[in-house]
Amino acid sequence: MYTVILAAHLGPPVALAVLGIYLLRKHPSVPAALVAIGFALVVAGGVAAMTESFEISRSVYANGSLVAAVGTMNHSGFQGLIAHYGQLFGLWIDTVGLVWQILGARATMADRLP
């Protein structure tokens, strides 16, 4: 069941990160780099969130109480920051990159029209 959840949660961001890297290789520019970096951050945040969720579930099942889960959540440190803010900042970064890329592509297309 966890495999299905993992694929549903991380499948689209991984595909978009791969497409962002392809865009960066095809059209090397700052907007393309923002798209690739943004979706890579989303993937990193998703992996950290899933790992944190697995650790919390493991501590609940091992100890039989939610107190251990709260301790795990409070002591997650850098992984918790990536889990909570990686996806948020990643989505903002890739949105800026995509809008910049689209506006740049529209400007170059307008220059080509007669």
C-beta separation of 30 from 100 below 8 A: yes
Q: What angle do CA 106, 109, 113 make, to 5 degrees?
A: 135
3-state class (DSSP) for residue 113: coil
Indicate the DSSP class of residue 65.
S
Residue 54 scores a pLDDT above 70: yes
Domain boundaries, the chain: 2-112
Q: What are the pLDDT digits (tens) for 6-36?
A: 788 888 889 989 998 998 898 888 988 999 9
Q: Residue 23: which residues within 8 A CB-CB, separation 6 or more?
A: 32, 35, 36, 101
If you average pLDDT over every residue of the chain, what do you get? 81
